[in-house]
Structure 1
Amino acid sequence: MVSATRTPPLRLVDRSPSITGAEIVSELVPPPQFEHASFESYRPDLDYPSQLDAVQRLNAFAAWRARPGGFFSRTRKSKAELPGIYLDGGFGVGKTHLLAALWHGAPGPKYFGTFIEYTALVGALGYAETVTQLTGAKLICIDEFELDDPGDTMLMTRLLGELIASGTRVAATSNTPPNSLGEGRFAAADFLREIQAMSANFETVRIDGLDYRRRDASGHADVVSPEDFDHLSEALLERGSRVTIDDFGALMKHLSTVHPSKYIKMIAGLDVIALRNVFLLTDQTDALRLVAFIDRVYDAEIPIIATGVPLHDVFDAEMMEGGYRKKYQRSQSRMVALTTGELPPHAE
């Protein structure tokens, strides 16, 4: 007898959402796990003094009261009063938490989104309308500033230049650029070089430390047997959970047909994502799509159960030695959290 509460299984491959510019703008807020992020709730690793230093420097940047000469006066020399601040560091050191804390304390209008979301907004509205929409914002926060696509990078450079000129303050976090295998300082150098004339408007704040997701974890993504997969999926459906069940290969093919800006709508309303037959990826384009997808799943705090290769092992050796190595490592740490049920109250 089928339970009256049992929900039918869903498939991610059946979801091909559309998204409008207005919807993107309405969602330019911190992810749910950062809804109450504050400088006080940030948990620094005391072995790395730069984490506490970052909090102090962000507090200085967040002095929102107007002063003589204005925040954006070119004659002012204090770094804390530059209109831009850039958080540079490895994954899992709390950059996104601090960025969200800054956003929560700022007056509106204000916007918070990933680099992909802002470029998607330009794609949906057009450049001129995006400038119109964002002009007047007191603060623009950009999480995971990408250097993967030079065209998108220069588009954002132009957009931020116009917004800063109009009086908007900008805060950004780093993402690993191509061929940057160092500890994060390369990201800052490349970012500042790419934005050229804008670089003088940004203070770079280095945040050292270990990935907090692995401080007390084994560092391995959980995998289940096909039999346990079926039992777990059925139990979740019987309980009324909204579960998607997909073959990993079919999902990867489907992700290639959906713009990453729409991934958040693909997973909307889900409680659990179940993936069968996870396998090693050898195509870097597929791997980067998976990274973008996992980022959205992590933001939405949706657990994953999977069979096959453990998710943290899906990137082949060549990828893990290449220019996107740190990006894949960050995704691995998120996969561990998603499959082990160790999602913390706040994240990077």
Structure 2
Amino acid sequence: MSAPTTASGSAGPIAAEAPAALTDRAPQVPAERLVAEMVPPPRFATVSFDNYITDPGQPSQAEAVEALRAFAARLDGGAGAKGGRRRHWFRREAKPAATGGGPRGMYLDGGYGVGKTHLLASLWHATPAAPELKAFGTFVELTNLVGALGFQQTVRTLSGHRLLCIDEFELDDPGDTVLVSTLLGKLVEAGVALAATSNTLPGKLGEGRFAAADFLREIQGLSAHFRTLRIDGEDYRHRGLPAAPAPYSDDTVTRAAHRTPGASLDAFPALLEHLSRVHPSRYGAMCDGIQAVCLTGVGPVPDQSTALRLVVLADRLYDREVPVLASGVPFDRLFSEEMLSGGYRKKYFRAISRLTALARDAKRLADTPGGR
């Protein structure tokens, strides 16, 4: 019996074990893991201000780097870091400013693909404090931490930190926004420095712009502590790169999944249905150990709730640098024109950008006989 062939006709070995299926995974994530994983994800584990490539035509990028460098330099670690241990409980007495008298928080505003997460992670790395005295997570991950630990315990846990970085701060859900706003107020009182990136509703705040007054009113009582940095520019993920590969056939995707160690294989409609049964905070854990995601039958997303869940999955796959090989329609046709012109369009364009980058990474899986 002859060996199966790739799309290019080359023989390629089939993995001994069948690929995993994301639809078979519904992980439970303990609270301890939620706290331990509040660090920059793998894609941003080694980033720095030095390897952030600024666009000479966008001076706001270089200005943001310098402002964040200065902010990190003012975070000298404080008593908790100098003592080599956390302050475990929220104290009543007034805390010294975490930033040496400068702004207590930095807010990075800009379009998708300008490197806001890179800069936020670089700030985390550059802050002179032990890793356990710094926290990094998305807005969704932070709200899930509050849900798992309870509000008071979250305050106690995070008030011993020198820095809290929140990626993709969202204004979609008023309840979550007020919850996190109250939490951040407590943390600032405890001397914690804050940094965040903007992921606001463009329909409310303006296309590609951040209405600082609107956001800072949500962070009740913190407006005097934040400095907003506007970061302009093009999407770096596709600047000067070739177009993303066209979708492959179902057969090519299936064969690639079978010969690629650690790959998953799912029908796209079934995966969308499965996402509705798993809390978005668990999507990262759902991808544990997955080296490549292979999807057959990709088509337009049917409704906004499904689309928003897919955005979260795309973010977690991008964070973990998991390539995505797919058949069906191109990723730029996932979301309807109505979605792309509505209040969540900024999220959808970010998802398209990130999935397109991951599709480019996955091209080698279809082109290389060994799937490597």
Per the TM superposition, whether the score is higher than 0.5 is: yes
SS of 2:269 mapped into structure 1: helix
1:259 maps to a residue whose letter is H
**Equivalent position of 1:295 in the other structure:** 315
**Equivalent position of 1:28 in the other structure:** 38
**Equivalent position of 1:286 in the other structure:** 306
Task: Compute the RMSD of aligned alpha carbons.
Answer: 2.2
SS of 1:222 mapped into structure 2: coil
Pick the aligned partner of 2:115 from 86, 94, 113: 94
Residues 180 and 41 (structure 1), Cα distance of their counterparts in 2 relative to 1, 3 Å cut: same
Cα separation, 2, equivalents of 1:92 and 1:189? 24
1:252 paired with 2:272, answer: yes
Residues 98 and 73 (structure 1), Cα distance of their counterparts in 2 relative to 1, 3 Å cut: closer
Cα separation, 1, equivalents of 2:297 and 2:309? 18
Cα separation, 1, equivalents of 2:35 and 2:223? 26
Q: CA deviation at 1:342?
A: 7.9
Gaps of 5+ in 2: 4-12, 79-94, 364-372
Q: CA deviation at 1:41?
A: 1.1
Residues 46 and 342 (structure 1), Cα distance of their counterparts in 2 relative to 1, 3 Å cut: farther
Cα separation, 2, equivalents of 1:95 and 1:165? 26
TM-score normalised per structure 1: 0.90
1:82 paired with 2:103, answer: yes
Q: CA deviation at 1:186?
A: 3.3
CA displacement, residues 167-200 of structure 1 (integer Å, 9 cap, x when unaligned): 0000000103262473432354432232242121
Pick the aligned partner of 1:184 from 205, 208, 232: 208
**Equivalent position of 1:308 in the other structure:** 328
Cα separation, 1, equivalents of 2:271 and 2:14? 29
SS of 2:221 mapped into structure 1: helix
Residues 4 and 249 (structure 1), Cα distance of their counterparts in 2 relative to 1, 3 Å cut: closer
CA displacement, residues 124-165 of structure 1 (integer Å, 9 cap, x when unaligned): 111111111111100000011011111001100000000000
Cα separation, 1, equivalents of 2:362 and 2:23? 27
Residues 127 and 66 (structure 1), Cα distance of their counterparts in 2 relative to 1, 3 Å cut: closer
Q: CA deviation at 1:64?
A: 2.4
**Equivalent position of 2:187 in the other structure:** 163
**Equivalent position of 2:24 in the other structure:** 14
Cα separation, 1, equivalents of 2:317 and 2:77? 39
Aligned ranges 1:52-67 → 2 under 5 Å = 52-62=62-72, 63-65=74-76
Aligned ranges 1:174-323 → 2 under 5 Å = 174-177=198-201, 179-180=203-204, 182-186=206-210, 188-220=212-244, 222-236=246-260, 241-323=261-343
Q: CA deviation at 1:10?
A: 1.2
CA displacement, residues 201-255 of structure 1 (integer Å, 9 cap, x when unaligned): 100011000010121234546310123223322332xxxx111111111111110
TM-score normalised per structure 2: 0.84
Q: Which has the larger radius of gyration?
A: 2
The answer to whether the Cα contact below 8 Å between 1:9 and 1:242 also exists between their aligned partners in 2 is yes
1:127 paired with 2:151, answer: yes
Cα separation, 1, equivalents of 2:245 and 2:107? 31
Gaps of 5+ in 1: 344-348
Q: CA deviation at 1:66?
A: 8.2
Pick the aligned partner of 1:149 from 166, 169, 173: 173
SS of 1:186 mapped into structure 2: coil
Residues 205 and 231 (structure 1), Cα distance of their counterparts in 2 relative to 1, 3 Å cut: same
**Equivalent position of 2:10 in the other structure:** none
The answer to whether the Cα contact below 8 Å between 2:254 and 2:294 also exists between their aligned partners in 1 is no
The answer to whether the Cα contact below 8 Å between 2:113 and 2:235 also exists between their aligned partners in 1 is yes
SS of 1:341 mapped into structure 2: helix
The answer to whether the Cα contact below 8 Å between 1:274 and 1:306 also exists between their aligned partners in 2 is yes
Residues 17 and 65 (structure 1), Cα distance of their counterparts in 2 relative to 1, 3 Å cut: closer
Cα separation, 1, equivalents of 2:33 and 2:69? 31
2:185 maps to a residue whose letter is G
**Equivalent position of 2:92 in the other structure:** none
Residues 143 and 98 (structure 1), Cα distance of their counterparts in 2 relative to 1, 3 Å cut: same
Cα separation, 1, equivalents of 2:68 and 2:99? 19
Residues 60 and 233 (structure 1), Cα distance of their counterparts in 2 relative to 1, 3 Å cut: same
**Equivalent position of 1:71 in the other structure:** 97
The answer to whether the Cα contact below 8 Å between 1:12 and 1:246 also exists between their aligned partners in 2 is yes
The answer to whether the Cα contact below 8 Å between 2:99 and 2:193 also exists between their aligned partners in 1 is no
SS of 1:9 mapped into structure 2: coil
Cα separation, 2, equivalents of 1:141 and 1:93? 17
**Equivalent position of 1:346 in the other structure:** none
